[in-house]
């Protein structure tokens, strides 16, 4: 049994920190002095004298040891051992389960990973030490017996034919390369002694695990294990451990992906030695001999490459960057996007992000469908690129309108030309709908109602709420305006995702988190009630294009979704929010080139549905308190229990906040509210309309009128022509409360016209009845021209169905639909 001081793994000296690095030299001094001490304690004759110690030789040995130690310390100070660059390791970005997503080589292009002893399979360590250096834990960096043997052989052959390298010496050579000469060998020995002085055995072994060459630009067992076997070094099998143990001796000769048979012979030779030493069993040897060598050609993982690049730039000194990415989900979405974009026009790509609502952690991040593809600028991160959101901001206009008590879920909004306003957008469909509910307007993404609400809120207020929530819109005109409702600003998918996350997170807007070490930063945008109602409006079964499929199953509709298309078909968006996830999809060309025919509902939405179905989340967000449900009446917008049944023309079930069900808002910011009761004077005997100063016996009559701008689309029984009594002929004064009758005379509603001319263009005169001042004409949802009663005008039409709308300066309007047919 050897003393503890000679057994480094058990030595108290060795178990310490940096002070253990010089333990071997103190042991040497103890060994050199032991003879002298014994001579002094056991002299050949009494009495004990100092001369006995000197004559015993111990003093000379002791002093020689001190001199050697002094000279070594002096040399160590003059030629310090090279310290590896702390940034010389490759950076690995890993998924939540530790699987590498992407690896970035170090500054020299080498794949090398920081590796701890407990991160490597014990099988590999056992094979390595018994193959390379059986006495690693016993020698002080060099093996004297092996050195003597090699010295004699090399001297006899007058060249280096045999080595005596220990693991420490190999680390010395890898740390500070030297020439194959006597001088180089002495330099290696000196560096080995330095390593043993400054480091303990664990640290030396860990350096070997990081620096050992494994072929090509692979260094270290972790890089080799990942590259050749696709697994971590801690997971190596017996066969793989044995193969990697022999590979550094001849990395090119034994490279398993190029020379599998040669590598197998070297592996089996080591296994045979381990069996002969009693370390591995014969059964293991038999299994390994039947196992052929199979290895991947070294290629770095490339999953979530754009996210990995983003995080690597954010944390450039980190050697391992942990993320919240779900590896299987990332692989599935990345593959799905690649396949999906292959069906799209050339140059069109896509991006997608999936975020888990709880904790707001990113689970999948595809910045570009085809990374590094030049045709689609695949290296551009479309998650952070500033683009026009199209209609994607509309849900938050409605949400703030709910919080400001301007609307409830079924409020009557006006979808008609904004002829009195400077900003006069049309709808994507090219048509108008008249009176629409807030839910229907949001689901069908109508432009006019969204602008109507934004005008009531004010663009400045809406922009300030976004800024307070951490969103920074970019305006081409430099300031917030009504065009915000239709995408007249710049915003990234990341910002839009944060906004949509509020619908599933009780109105809180948070910054994307890519790992649990990032703090959750969030700010309120909507109340929990408003967020839940908007989610309900967007998840309504009427809005679900697959509602017929769901009717045959027990599946509930938990997905609230919204699409958007920017001007010129440059960006197609789709966002979905369920109880567990928020999903964002973008499709387009990174350079901003238009993609005609590619818009949110037909390009981005199908991809969103596919991913959502794959996720299988059927739970909606949790319903907060203070959500009210009431039957409301149109056109007033008030609760049925607060309305006269005579004035309740239509009934709808609405959602409101804490019992608040506001009345119908005006069609424009400064326009009068025309959706409540109106009082008229009528003659008692005829019931016809009269002026109070007419002289006839009259009485008041209350009517419930719809907004004037919706007249052309109303059911005739609710139109002013039907509801308002005619003027009593006995009264010569024109009542001022109601406008005169207004109608288009050019053609009858529903008419079919056959064009008898040889030309394909048909000319239709524009004439009206009851016009007061100018008329504004709209053809198929687009503003056509403004006409004066004194000047005749006409419109030239092509074959097909058409909608002609005229709005008089008095506010009266009329609409007809007709068809022009070829002869």
Instruction: Report helix, strand or coil for 703.
Output: strand
Catalytic residue among 21, 33, 121, 132: 132
Sign of torsion over alpha carbons 80, 85, 88, 92: positive
In this structure, what token pair is assigned to residue 118? 């407990």
CB of 487 closer than 8 Å to CB of 508: no
Q: Could you give the CA distance from residue 301 to residue 299 in angstroms, rounded to a whole number?
A: 7
Catalytic residue among 225, 351, 364, 391: 391
CB of 198 closer than 8 Å to CB of 190: no
What does each C-alpha distance from 808 to 154, 413, 623, 777 come to in angstroms? Answer: 110, 21, 46, 9
Residue with tokens 């907004």: 707
Residue with tokens 């689309």: 713
Beta strands 768-769; 762-766: pairing state: unpaired
CB of 351 closer than 8 Å to CB of 373: no
DSSP string over 323-339: ----HHHHHHHHHHHHH
CB of 168 closer than 8 Å to CB of 200: no
In this structure, what token pair is assigned to residue 544? 């679900």
* Distance in Å from the first CA to the final CA of the chain: 115
Quick one: which H or E segment has residue 777? strand 775-779
Active site residue 132: yes
Helix, strand, coil percentages (3-state) for the chain, rounded to 5, are 35, 20, 45
Other CB atoms within a 10 A radius of the CB of residue 710 amount to: 26
Q: Dihedrals φ, ψ of 704, to 5°?
A: -110, 110
Q: Could you give the CA distance from residue 652 to residue 639 in angstroms, rounded to a whole number?
A: 10
Active site residue 622: no
Q: Could you give the CA distance from residue 181 to residue 160 in angstroms, rounded to a whole number?
A: 8
CB of 364 closer than 8 Å to CB of 352: yes
Question: What does the angle CA 163 – CA 169 – CA 175 come to, to the nearest 5 degrees?
Answer: 125
Q: Could you give the CA distance from residue 226 to residue 228 in angstroms, rounded to a whole number?
A: 6
In this structure, what token pair is assigned to residue 187? 């330099």
CB of 753 closer than 8 Å to CB of 819: yes
In this structure, what token pair is assigned to residue 435? 């009176």
Q: Could you give the CA distance from residue 489 to residue 473 in angstroms, rounded to a whole number?
A: 6
What does each C-alpha distance from 339 to 102, 197, 366, 624 come to in angstroms? Answer: 21, 58, 13, 40
Beta strands 800-808; 91-94: pairing state: unpaired
In this structure, what token pair is assigned to residue 16? 């310490």
Q: Could you give the CA distance from residue 575 to residue 585 in angstroms, rounded to a whole number?
A: 6
Residue with tokens 């995408």: 487
Residue with tokens 């009427």: 542
Helices assigned H by DSSP within 315-385: 327-341
Burial bucket for residue 558 (CB in 10 Å: 0-12, 13-18, 19+): buried
Q: Could you give the CA distance from residue 320 to residue 696 in angstroms, rounded to a whole number?
A: 92
Beta bridge partner(s), residue 803: 817
Question: What does the angle CA 793 – CA 795 – CA 801 come to, to the nearest 5 degrees?
Answer: 145
- Identify whether 635 is preceded by a cis peptide bond (ω within 30 of 0): yes
Q: Could you give the CA distance from residue 796 to residue 785 in angstroms, rounded to a whole number?
A: 12
Active-site residues: which are they? 132, 391
């Amino acid at each position: 049994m050897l003393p503890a001081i000679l057994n480094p793994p058990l030595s108290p000296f060795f178990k310490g920190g940096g002070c253990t690095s010089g333990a071997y030299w103190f042991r040497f001094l103890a060994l050199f002095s032991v003879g002298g001490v014994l001579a002094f304690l056991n002299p050949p004759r009494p009495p004990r004298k100092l001369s006995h110690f000197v004559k015993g030789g111990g003093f000379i040995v002791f002093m020689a040891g001190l001199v050697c130690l002094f000279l070594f310390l002096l040399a160590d100070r003059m030629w310090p051992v090279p310290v590896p660059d702390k940034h010389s390791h490759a950076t690995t970005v890993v998924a939540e389960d530790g699987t590498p997503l992407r690896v970035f080589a170090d500054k020299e292009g080498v794949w090398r990973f920081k590796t701890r002893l407990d991160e490597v399979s014990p099988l590999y360590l056992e094979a390595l030490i018994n193959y390379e250096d059986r006495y690693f834990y016993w020698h002080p960096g060099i093996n004297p017996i092996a050195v003597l043997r090699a010295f004699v052989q090399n001297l006899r052959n007058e060249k280096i034919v045999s080595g005596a390298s220990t693991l420490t010496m190999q680390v010395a050579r890898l740390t500070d390369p030297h020439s194959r000469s006597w001088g180089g060998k002495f330099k290696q020995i000196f560096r080995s002694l330095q390593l043993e002085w400054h480091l303990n055995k664990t640290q030396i072994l860990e350096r070997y695990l990081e620096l050992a060459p494994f072929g090509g630009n692979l260094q270290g067992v972790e890089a080799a294990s990942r590259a050749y076997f696709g697994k971590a070094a801690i997971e190596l099998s017996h066969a793989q451990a044995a193969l990697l143990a022999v590979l550094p001796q001849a990395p090119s000769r034994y490279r398993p992906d190029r020379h599998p048979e040669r590598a197998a012979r070297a592996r089996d030779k080591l296994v045979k030695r381990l069996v002969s030493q009693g370390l591995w069993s014969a059964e293991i040897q038999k299994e390994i001999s039947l196992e052929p060598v199979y290895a991947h050609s070294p290629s770095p993982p490339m999953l979530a490459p754009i996210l990995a690049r983003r995080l690597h730039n954010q944390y450039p000194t980190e050697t391992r960057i942990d993320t919240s990415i779900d590896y299987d989900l990332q692989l599935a979405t990345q593959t799905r996007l690649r396949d999906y974009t292959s069906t799209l026009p050339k140059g069109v790509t896509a991006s997608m992000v999936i975020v888990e609502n709880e904790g707001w952690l990113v689970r999948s991040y595809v910045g570009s469908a085809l990374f590094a593809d030049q045709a689609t600028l695949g290296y551009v991160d479309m998650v952070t690129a500033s683009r026009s959101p199209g209609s994607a901001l509309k849900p938050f206009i409605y949400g703030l309108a709910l919080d400001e008590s301007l609307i409830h879920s079924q409020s009557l909004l006006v979808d008609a030309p904004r002829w009195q306003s400077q900003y006069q957008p049309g709808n994507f469909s090219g048509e108008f709908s008249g009176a629409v509910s807030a839910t229907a307007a949001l689901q069908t993404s109508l432009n006019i109602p969204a602008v109507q609400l934004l005008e009531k809120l004010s663009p400045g207020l809406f922009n300030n709420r976004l800024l307070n929530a951490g969103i920074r819109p970019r305006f081409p005109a430099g300031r917030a305006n009504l065009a915000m409702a239709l995408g007249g600003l710049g915003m990234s998918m990341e910002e839009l995702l944060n906004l949509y996350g509020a619908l599933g997170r009780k109105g809180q807007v948070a910054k994307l988190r890519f790992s649990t070490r990032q703090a959750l930063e969030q700010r309120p945008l909507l109340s929990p009630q408003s967020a839940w109602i908007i989610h309900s409006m967007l998840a309504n079964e009427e809005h679900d294009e697959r509602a017929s499929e769901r009717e045959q199953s027990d599946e509930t509709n938990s997905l609230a979704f919204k699409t958007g298309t920017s001007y010129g078909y440059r960006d197609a968006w789709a966002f979905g929010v369920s109880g567990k996830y928020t999903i964002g999809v973008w499709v387009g060309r990174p350079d901003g080139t238009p993609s005609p025919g590619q818009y949110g509902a037909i390009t981005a939405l199908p991809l969103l549905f596919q991913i959502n179905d794959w996720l299988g989340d059927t739970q909606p967000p949790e319903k907060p308190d203070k959500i009210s449900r009431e039957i409301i009446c149109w056109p007033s917008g008030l609760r049925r229990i607060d309305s006269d049944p005579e004035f309740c023309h239509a009934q709808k079930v609405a959602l409101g906040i804490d019992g608040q069900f506001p009345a119908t808002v005006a069609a424009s910011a400064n326009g009068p509210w025309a959706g409540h009761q109106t009082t008229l004077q009528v003659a008692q005997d005829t019931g016809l309309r009269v002026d109070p100063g007419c002289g006839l016996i009259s009485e008041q009559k209350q009517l419930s009128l719809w907004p004037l701008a919706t007249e052309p689309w109303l059911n005739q029984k609710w139109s002013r022509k039907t509801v308002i009594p005619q003027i009593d002929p006995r009264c010569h004064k024109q009542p001022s409360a109601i406008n005169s009758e207004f109608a288009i005379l050019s053609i009858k509603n529903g008419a079919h016209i056959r064009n008898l001319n040889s030309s394909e263009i048909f000319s239709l005169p524009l004439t009206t009845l009851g016009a007061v001042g100018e008329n504004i004409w709209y053809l198929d949802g687009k503003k056509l021209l403004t006409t004066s009663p004194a000047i005749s005008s006409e419109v030239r039409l092509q074959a097909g169905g058409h909608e002609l709308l005229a709005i008089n300066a008095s506010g009266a309007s009329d609409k007809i639909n007709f068809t022009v047919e070829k002869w």
